[in-house]
Amino acid sequence: MKKYLSVSLSILSLSMAVYMDNTYADSKKAEKPPDSLYMKQTEDESASQDASPISGKIVEAMNSGGYTYLCIEKDGKKTWAAILETNVAVGQEVALQPGYEMVNFTSKTLNRTFDKIIFSTGFASQEGATDTKSYHGKPMGSKSQSVVSNEPIKVEKVSGPNAFTVAELYEKRTELDKKNIVVRGKVVKVSSGIMGRNWLHIQDGTGNSESGTQDLVVTTHDITSVGDIVTANGTLYKDKDFGSGYKYDVIVEQASIKKENAAK
């Protein structure tokens, strides 16, 4: 009987240890804003391409779920923002990169719903780098790299049954909707860490700049740089609407990226 009781207590202790360990581990995971939330630009579409950072004095701050939540006050107006967890202090003057504004966002770890909160990629750089509007006239508020060059882009089409040029993806978007495609091009812009993904703009020299069919938006978890020649393998979606006016005629999502050379 004593031996049976001893074994039972050991099993119970082990079970409790595993439970506590898992509970602690789950609490350390960073919560991510769901993709289905509404997103809105932090500036009017009619404004200039150089958006102002979110700036002001921190009047409230808290860390939870892998994020730092900040209430920033400027000219009597308070704005809630969230960045990846970092050390800040109330009273500190900060400037954040523009980001996505979430409506009615609920933080499960804080057990709190924010009427409006801006998810930013972090502090603005010393140069005050900000994002620009996309080639399709729809903004993507984020920290980004981009390049402007007068040199024409000419990238050879990748071979294979599911391979297309950028222009062909626009032309055949209806028949290719929700299908796997492969496209090769040069990265001309990178917006990192938006909604847990990196947003790339790639071009291969095909398409028309007036209609916007020369530029393709690709989302990925892989890391690349402006100037890289890459092959993207992902799922094409036509007329993808993220809400609040964020609509793309063509977008390639969940792509794997193969870099063929490093950016110069």
Helix (H) or strand (E) holding 173: helix 173-176
Q: What is the pLDDT of residues 75-104, one digit of tens each?
A: 999 999 988 878 888 888 888 877 778 888
Amino acid 215: pLDDT? 93
Q: Which two tokens stand for residue 251?
A: 């977008």
Calpha distance 146→3 (Å, rounded): 70
- List per-block mean pLDDT (blocks of 10 residues) for the chain, which spans 264 residues: 45 39 40 42 32 80 88 93 84 82 87 89 49 36 49 91 96 97 94 78 93 92 92 95 70 94 56
pTM above 0.85, yes or no: no
Amino acid 69: pLDDT? 92
Q: Which two tokens stand for residue 240?
A: 């993808």
The DSSP code for 172 is T
Strands 216-220 and 247-261: parallel
Amino acid 4: pLDDT? 46
**CATH 2.40.50.140 describes domain 144-261:** yes
Positive or negative CA dihedral for 192, 198, 204, 210?
A: negative
Q: Where are the domains of the chain?
A: 39-120, 144-261
Architecture in CATH of 39-120: Beta Barrel (2.40)
Alpha-carbon distances, residue 170 vs 41, 209, 259 (angstroms):
25, 13, 23
Sort 173 into a burial class: Cβ within 10 Å, 0-12 / 13-18 / 19+: middle
Residues in Cβ contact with 262 at an 8 Å cutoff, skipping those fewer than 6 apart: 225, 228
> Same fold for the domain at 39-120 and the one at 144-261?
yes
